[in-house]
Copies of this chain bind each other. A is one copy, B any other.
Amino acid sequence: MALIVQKYGGSSVASLDHIRRVAMGIVTTKSKGNKVTVVVSAMSGETDKLLGLAGQVMSNPPGREQDALVSTGEQACAALMAITLESLGHRAKSYLGLQLPLITDQVHTKARIVELQSDILHDDMNDGIIPVIAGFQGVCDNGSITTLGRGGSDTTAVALAASLKADCCEIYTDVDGVYTADPNICPKARHLKKISYQEMLELAGLGAKVLHARSVELAQKYQVPLVVKSSFGGEKHTWIVNEEDVMENSVIKGVTLERNVSKISLIRVPDRPGIAYKILSPLAETSINVDMIIQNASTDGFADFTFTIPTTDLEKAQELVSKIAEEIGALEMLAENNIVKVSAVGIGIKTNPGVAARMFKSLSEENINIEMISTSEYRISCIIEEKYGELAVRAVHKVFGLDDLNHTKDGEHKHE
């Protein structure tokens, strides 16, 4: 008998039929003597529909109201899941973030969890009730509804697993785990049975949509055993575990393509101390994540200053930065969003100095120009033109020996 937190993503609960299929799985798990707490996302398409409505009204809706609006998607799905479990003869209760409560900071649309009360869920499970929690949402200390950002339901699930001291947290999604690259882009991508928290964190942060980055961070911090499974069945799955528990230590574990990247450049900025802080601090204050930063060598007392941000924050960032550009006397501000970020991720990077050079060589062999570079212990990332993105993923995937040799010409995988 174990205590299991199961999280079902939007594609797993896309329709009432999907919800019923998922509910039967939950009932099976419970009937084996386990205690189960369920976390659900909104039915697929619902969040985009709601954001679309808000976007029709105004381009930058206030975060507080946007959160109140989109959080209804998860709420409705949690209630429908509870009703479906009841229809199968099991007692179930839905909960909003507000009801637990799951308390976050006040950063609307991308809040972070501060505290989570889960005592009531223990009581429910002891009474044979299956709690169904609306993922993605919380409440901040002034009582407003907040949301945790795209994919935030994963984080809800892991936080609950940590708080409930669950034996494991199962993330059910539309793929059967983590691959060395997105199989839609790279048909020779291989399935991974295990990956370290740190590697997964880099992959998630880079747009591999299997898990929300924050959820991996939390899972590592609280040592929550985390597994990604397909909600459509099948034996394959990927465990996310500690570094020392990953057996297969290839240098590079995966290659990602991040499309939500834009670049802002300030041309001929007076090269004075404190300029970078002056440009970037208003972005930090509004919780816009600046990723890569380049300031080119000053020649005549002026420098060009370039940085990347998520395209979803481009409009707000341009607004803020254009004011600063004027204040500091920059010649002009340029914005570009036809770029992508290709990254190679793996524990081996820190101990294999030649890795970056191999990646750059593979890109140059395809005549792909690298606009910006950044590296970390576990990652090498290159900003390139958008049109070369998929080609670059395949080239890097191949150069690190990740291609699946069982992959046949007609695009099918042999059975393992």
Contact = CB atoms under 8 A, between A and B. Distances in A.
A61 B145 CA distance: 27
Interface in A65-87: 65-66, 68-69, 71-72, 75-76, 78-80, 82-84, 86-87
A50 to B, nearest CB: 7
User: How extensive is the interface on chain A, given as a class?
Assistant: 35 or more
A83 B98 contact: no
A62 interface: yes
B58 A83 contact: yes
B99 A86 contact: no
A18 interface: no
A24 interface: no
Contacts of A75: 68-69, 71-72, 75
A86 B61 contact: yes
Contacts of A58: 83-84, 86-87
A93 interface: yes
A155 interface: no
Contact of A94 (B16, B65, B96): B65
A98 B99 CA distance: 9
A62 B58 CA distance: 38
State the main secondary structure of chain A at its contact with B.
Answer: helix
A192 interface: no
How many copies of this chain sit in the oligomeric assembly? 2
A56 interface: yes
A82 B94 contact: no
Contact of A57 (B65, B66, B80): B80
B65 A79 contact: yes
A57 B16 CA distance: 7
A76 to B, nearest CB: 5
A54 interface: yes
A69 B76 contact: yes
Nearest to A81: B65
Contacts of A16: 53, 56-57
Contact of A84 (B50, B57, B66): B57
Given A16-B53, A56-B16, A72-B76, A83 B66 contact: yes
Interface in A14-51: 16, 19-20, 50
B94 A57 contact: no
Interface of A: 16, 19-20, 50, 53-54, 56-58, 61-62, 64-66, 68-69, 71-72, 75-76, 78-80, 82-84, 86-87, 92-94, 96, 98-99, 143-145
Given A57-B80, A57-B83, A98-B98, 6 more contacts: A61-B83, A61-B87, A65-B83, A65-B93, A69-B80, A69-B83
The 8 closest A-B pairs by CB, nearest first: A69-B79, A58-B87, A72-B72, A68-B79, A65-B82, A61-B83, A72-B76, A65-B79
